[in-house]
Amino acid sequence: MKRRRKLSSEERELWDKVAASARAMHPKHPKPAETEPVLPPDPVLPPEKPPRFEAKAFRLGQTAAPPRHGHDLAPSIGEHLARQPVVMDRKAHRAMTRGKLEPEARLDLHGMTLSEAHPELIHFVLSAADRGCRLILVITGKGKRGLDDGPIPQRMGVLRHQVPHWLRLPPLGAVVMQVSEAHLKHGGSGAYYIYLRRR
């Protein structure tokens, strides 16, 4: 077994210098007592009781939105015509829709087929325009509900829906100024006032 060699006085002096200049990598700084507040112990709370459920009186569906009725998104012919801009004189238009103007000529298409009614309408409107008429009346009838066997619903009154369309097309579109649903006095929704342009 080797004996440990003792340091010489020179080695001891050198070691003391090194030890004096050495610094700790992670120095421990003791905290002063006044910076560490003494916290009181947490109070011991009694265990919370679970909330008691109370059922309130309610009615099934009370918060539901009200149902929408009907599925016909297209406006009726009368509504569609009422939304059209007024091109004719406004006073005359008001008097016409109130039934205060008397039509100068009338045509009854009630009971005709589409192929019969179309040429009759063209002849009537153009001849009335040639005579210098301004307000004429075309009666279509309200129509009957047909057999609805398919999944697509059928509109009532084929002529009632077709006549305003024909009046916009040539040759009638050039002479027709305004189309409006007639007043009840002259047939209501089963007839149309047709106001013609001045020739």
CATH topology assigned to domain 97-143+155-196:
Ribosomal Protein S8; Chain: A, domain 1 (3.30.1370)
Three-state SS for 177? strand
Mean pLDDT score of the chain, rounded to an integer?
A: 83
Confidence of residue 65 (pLDDT cuts 50, 70, 90): confident
At residue 101, the pLDDT reads: 95
Give the separation between CA 162 and CA 118, rounded to whole angstroms.
9
Q: What is the pLDDT of residue 97?
A: 92
Cα 175–101–89 angle (5° rounding)? Answer: 55
How far apart CA 120 and CA 56 sit, in angstroms, is: 70
What is the model's pLDDT at position 82?
Answer: 84
* SS3 readout for 32-62: CHHHCCCCCCCCCCCCCCCCCCCCCCCCCCC
Say which residue the tokens 């916009």 belong to. 168
Instruction: Check pLDDT > 70 for residue 146.
Output: no
pLDDT for res 19: 81
Q: Write out pLDDT tens, residues 77-129.
A: 888 888 889 999 999 999 999 999 999 999 999 889 999 999 999 999 999 99
Higher pLDDT: 62 or 106? It is 106
The string of pLDDT tens digits covering residues 147-188 is: 555 666 556 688 999 999 999 999 999 999 999 999 999 999
pLDDT band at 12 (very low <50, low <70, confident <90, very high): confident
- Confidence at residue 154, expressed as pLDDT on a 0 to 100 scale: 58
Question: Based on the number of CB atoms within 10 Å of its own CB, is 192 exposed (0-12), middle (13-18) or buried (19 or more)?
Answer: buried
Residues 6+ apart with CB under 8 A from 133: 104, 105, 196
